[in-house]
Structure 1
């Protein structure tokens, strides 16, 4: 069996593919960023702060970590920071709205535990953001044609 990546077999060949390599890197940054944010979320909601307020405070900090890490490490984006930053904010505005909508609908309206809803929201928003960052925020300028 031949592989399009000479010298790579099995897992190495799989990880040599750019999309999978990006997904793994995105996951590493996401685990570090979201693990810390979720710990802060649990601490402050345990103290008594409103879950939506805590998300409103932690989300912008997590966004900054995500932008810097994913721009350089995940997608190796060489384009300008301003355009990517604006697109990044748009993608996160959609993700943030999705997150708050899940909390409102599933916690406030349906009574599910906020801890579980927020944990699920992390994964749902992460999947959306990977696609948005890859194809919208840090898209390759070489791929676009007139």
Structure 2
């Protein structure tokens, strides 16, 4: 599959998981939960759903599930920490509304995770 088709598939999977995750984020924070806690609650669920979709549809990965799963967990941990850093810097320190920060962080982290997924997580040539 060429790069543009992979990215389009990645966007489709990401749109479904991130839209539902962002809506859950808005509801949870509206109920008074701190943004950092809301992200923590939602992140693992959305990441797991995205792993299944991206492994099967985007990257059509047929390699070892455990190897890809381990690499994916590391990549998602990096994305999660990046997400928390965005909230800390842009919302907590600079005063930008956390809803806007979260909405803006999603595409940045998505591009980061696409590249890591393509060239590390689901690439069997990487030893």
Residue 120 of structure 1, aligned match among 90, 104, 111 = 104
Q: Measure how far apart 1:46 and its partner are.
A: 0.9
Once residues 54 and 93 of structure 1 are traced to their aligned partners in structure 2, the CA distance between those partners, rounded to angstroms, is: 16
Corresponding residue to 1:57 among 31, 38, 41: 41
| 1:111 paired to 2:95 | yes
Spell out, residue by residue over 1:13-50, the C-alpha distance to the aligned partner (whole angstroms, 9 max, x if none): xxxx6111100000000000000000000011111111
Q: Which has the higher contact order (CA 8 A, sep 6+)?
A: 2
Q: How is 1:63-82 mapped onto 2 (pairs within 5 angstroms)?
A: 63-82=47-66
- Distance in 1 (alpha carbons) for counterparts of 2:36 and 2:78: 16
Alpha carbons of structure 1 residues 18 and 140: separation in structure 2 relative to 1, 3 Å: farther
SS in structure 2 at match of 1:76: coil
TM norm structure 2: 0.96
**Larger-gyration structure (1/2):** 1
| Cα offsets for 1:41-92 (capped at 9, x unmatched) | 0011111111110100000000100110000110000101000000001111
Q: Secondary structure of the residue that 1:108 maps to in structure 2?
A: helix
TM-score normalised by length of structure 1: 0.84
The 1-side partners of 2:20 and 2:50 are apart by 12
Give SS of 1:129's match: helix
Aligned 1:1-146 pairs, distance under 5 A: 18-141=2-125
